[in-house]
Amino acid sequence: MSEWVLPTTEEIMKIRIITAVLLAVGVSIARAAPDGPIQPIQPVKEVNLAKADLGKQLFLDGRLSRSGVLSCATCHNLAQAGVDNLQYSVGDRWKLDAINTPTVYNSSLNFVQFWDGRAPDLKAQAGGPIANPVEMGGFTHVIVTNFLKTIPGYVTEFNAVYGTKDITFDEVTGAIAEFEKTLKTPNGRFDRWLRGDPNAIDARELAGYRLFKAIGCSACHNGEGVGGKSFEKLGVFAPYKTSNPEEGRYEVTKKDDDRMRFKVPMLRNVALTYPYFHDGAARTLHDAVETMGRIQLGQQLAPEENDEIVAFLETLTGEFPSIALPQLPAGSDATPLSQPFAGTPEANHFQ
């Protein structure tokens, strides 16, 4: 039977060294992991490049719309931080699309899509605007796929990507979603700060970040997207005044409790995606911060506090991916010409 023996001084030293090393490793791990509410945007992983390239073409192709001119990119302008910087977007036949267009950049980080979350993912979202009479004009899935089948370049590409001779709408939206997965904007100044570069943001911006956490913004605006992870009631401490009739999540669930619950928007690149809120009523970031503080958090922010938070939000602008414009596959003689003026007074222009 072994007996208990007191450790030698040498052994005690060894234990102390091992403990110190373990502690140091532990601290180092804690430092490397983002311990705040926001995590850096992870680089794009596992993209099917041919599928994403096909999706890029479809995303930019106005011929998927009734008129032939409105593409996904018309409202989700890839050259304008993924938005159109309008209160409400212009739809088919110049209709007003009565909800503010969210950005497509980093949209893969949203837990669900649309302000009311009615689409579970990007693929389901992509079909919405195409079929919406107010947005791209209401082409049915069959019209879209029959159209694409007349374009030899698309037939070849769908075949190469999906290995089938047919073109299905499921393949169309799948390719668009694959492209959208590539639209991430990593390496913004705040992310560089999160990763350990103390000079990536300045003292005022850091003060803004601390205030952002202290007053509770980060309770909803957190994670990789700085939002996009929950539905929240708009107007907690005071009602949100708007002429816009949208009621958010209620439109999907029809539960009274979901009235005015909207998906919390991500704040990535928020300095570029004005105007703000589902009704696009806040023109500037200062307006938006003031309203959010007051009605969501019960905080009347001093002007310099507002300025600090805005300064922090501006550090959330990331690096946009380089996107080369494709040449879209040309139609064949069998491709019908789009008829933007059908159903408008202009249709009889020269009759």
Binding residue (CB under 8 A) for its own copies from 163, 245, 300, 303: 245
- Among residues 3, 10, 135, 251, which one is catalytic? 135
103, 73 Cβ separation under 8 angstroms: no
State yes or no: residue 74 binds its own copies (CB under 8 A).
yes
For the bound state, the minimum distance from the C-beta of residue 69 to its own copies, rounded and expressed in Å, comes to 5
Stretches 19-27, 119-127, 228-236, 282-290: which one binds its own copies (CB under 8 A)? 282-290
Phi and psi for 250 in degrees, rounded to 5?
A: -55, -35
17, 157 Cβ separation under 8 angstroms: no
How many residues in the shown chain lie near its own copies by CB under 8 A? 58
- CB nearer to its own copies: pick between 220 and 270: 270
How far apart, in whole angstroms, are the C-alpha atoms of residue 63 and residue 33?
Answer: 46
C-alpha distance from residue 246 to each of 193, 261, 279, 281, 298 (Å): 38, 10, 8, 13, 23
Binding residue (CB under 8 A) for its own copies from 98, 131, 143, 260: 98
What is the helix (H) or strand (E) element at residue 126, kind and residue range?
A: helix 122-131
For the bound state, the minimum distance from the C-beta of residue 58 to its own copies, rounded and expressed in Å, comes to 12
Active site residue 157: no
Stretches 32-40, 113-121, 240-248, 253-261: which one binds its own copies (CB under 8 A)? 240-248
For the bound state, the minimum distance from the C-beta of residue 275 to its own copies, rounded and expressed in Å, comes to 6
How far apart, in whole angstroms, are the C-alpha atoms of residue 271 and residue 60?
Answer: 24
State yes or no: residue 320 binds its own copies (CB under 8 A).
yes
State yes or no: residue 322 binds its own copies (CB under 8 A).
yes
Could you tell me which residues are beta bridge partners of residue 282? Answer: 276
72, 186 Cβ separation under 8 angstroms: no
How far apart, in whole angstroms, are the C-alpha atoms of residue 94 and residue 97?
Answer: 9
The SS3 of residue 303 is helix
For the bound state, the minimum distance from the C-beta of residue 349 to its own copies, rounded and expressed in Å, comes to 5
State yes or no: residue 67 binds its own copies (CB under 8 A).
yes
How far apart, in whole angstroms, are the C-alpha atoms of residue 242 and residue 278?
Answer: 10
Binding residue (CB under 8 A) for its own copies from 51, 66, 76, 93: 93
Could you tell me which residues are beta bridge partners of residue 231? Answer: 263
Stretches 115-123, 168-176, 196-204, 321-329: which one binds its own copies (CB under 8 A)? 321-329
- CB nearer to its own copies: pick between 75 and 112: 75
Binding residue (CB under 8 A) for its own copies from 64, 76, 88, 292: 88
Binding residue (CB under 8 A) for its own copies from 80, 182, 187, 253: 80
State yes or no: residue 85 binds its own copies (CB under 8 A).
yes
Cα–Cα nearest to 99, from 348, 297, 330, 275: 275
130, 65 Cβ separation under 8 angstroms: yes
| 152-162 and 141-149 helices, crossing angle to 10° | 100
> What are the catalytic residues?
135
Contacting positions for its own copies (CB under 8 A)? 57, 60-63, 67-69, 74, 77-81, 84-90, 93-96, 98, 243-245, 271-272, 274-275, 279, 283-286, 320, 322-328, 330-331, 333, 337-338, 340-341, 344, 346, 349-351
